[in-house]
Amino acid sequence: MVTRREPVQRRSRERVEQILAAAAELLAAGGVDALTTRSLAEYTGIPVGTIYRYFDNRDAIISAYLDHELEAIERSVATAVLELDRVSVRSMARAIGLAHMRHHQAHPEGVPVWFGGRLNAAVVERVRELDARMAEALRAAVRGTGMMSGAPDFTAELLVRLFDRMFEFVFLAERTATEQEEIVLDFADMVASHMERFATPAGLEGVPSRQFLRALEQYGDSSSTDRAAEKQAPAAGAPRPRAARSASA
């Protein structure tokens, strides 16, 4: 399990943002293999020891980058849902799929990390954690709005995992933006057809978009508390023993 210390002081927060911004540029230029604590130090001029004050190792930096990406995707999804008059299982699948797609189109530097770094243990672990988080959010929103009933417990995890593989198919080949959108919409409709087997009238006719987002926000409020408890760690700037540092540097 990789961790990072949450910075408290403004200067520390700025330093962390600088590290993550530089990491994103290195990842964009050369993929996961291009990012090490040493290459990051050379690229930024920040001493390796200073980087270790905020991140346990290279894997913690990758995890933080993916967390930051998911937060941006979640904001895009919220915006897309609010643009809907009503959220049905079909319009939900389409809006979520298109929001994810447009984020990756606007930020192509993240594609090699999300979909091309699956041989890296840190990427695999983090993507699985984020998939589980998205699945639980979907489950909570559907449950909170009464849009579906009687679906198997594994449905949310399965759909999230299938969406992930679909995006891998879309982005790891040379395709036009139009071709990418056609695939995403076609897949979203296939997913919606499956979900409609368990949809209630609310799921078929739709619920107000703000009601759907409230259900998502209620999940977010409870899960953020859980995540904060899991991240109990020394304060920013606390020195780390050299032996605790990863050989991946």
Parent domain of 121? 63-230
Q: If the chain, 249 residues long, is cut into consecutive pieces of 10 residues, what is the mean pLDDT of each piece?
A: 54 88 88 89 93 91 88 91 95 96 91 79 84 90 93 93 94 96 98 97 96 83 49 41 39
CA distances from 114 to 3, 130, 235 (A): 19, 11, 29
Q: Are residues 135 and 120 in contact, defined by beta-carbon separation less than 8 angstroms?
A: no
Residue 61: both structure tokens together: 């930096």
Our count of domains for the chain comes to: 1
pLDDT of residue 191: 96
Q: Cα angle at 167 between 138 and 93, to 5 degrees? A: 35
pLDDT of residue 101: 96
Residue 165 lies in a domain: yes
pLDDT of residue 166: 96
pLDDT of residue 227: 45
Residue 118 lies in a domain: yes
Q: Are residues 105 and 230 in contact, defined by beta-carbon separation less than 8 angstroms?
A: no
The CB density around residue 221, as the number of other CB atoms within 10 Å, is 9
pLDDT of residue 249: 42
Residue 18 lies in a domain: no
pLDDT of residue 20: 92
Q: Are residues 221 and 203 in contact, defined by beta-carbon separation less than 8 angstroms?
A: no
pLDDT of residue 114: 86
Residue 142: both structure tokens together: 């559907």
Residue 29 lies in a domain: no
Q: Are residues 217 and 134 in contact, defined by beta-carbon separation less than 8 angstroms?
A: no
pLDDT of residue 245: 41
Residue 201 lies in a domain: yes
Residue 25 lies in a domain: no
Say which residues have a Cβ less than 8 Å from residue 37's Cβ, sequence separation at least 6.
48, 51, 52, 55, 57, 58, 61, 248, 249
pLDDT of residue 222: 54
Residue 240 lies in a domain: no
CATH number at residue 188: 1.10.357
Q: Are residues 104 and 171 in contact, defined by beta-carbon separation less than 8 angstroms?
A: yes
pLDDT of residue 28: 83
Residue 202: both structure tokens together: 């609310």
pLDDT of residue 223: 53
Q: How far is residue 71's CA from residue 68's CA, in Å, rounded to a whole number?
A: 5
pLDDT of residue 175: 97
Residue 212 lies in a domain: yes
Q: Which helix (H) or strand (E) holds 142?
A: helix 121-145
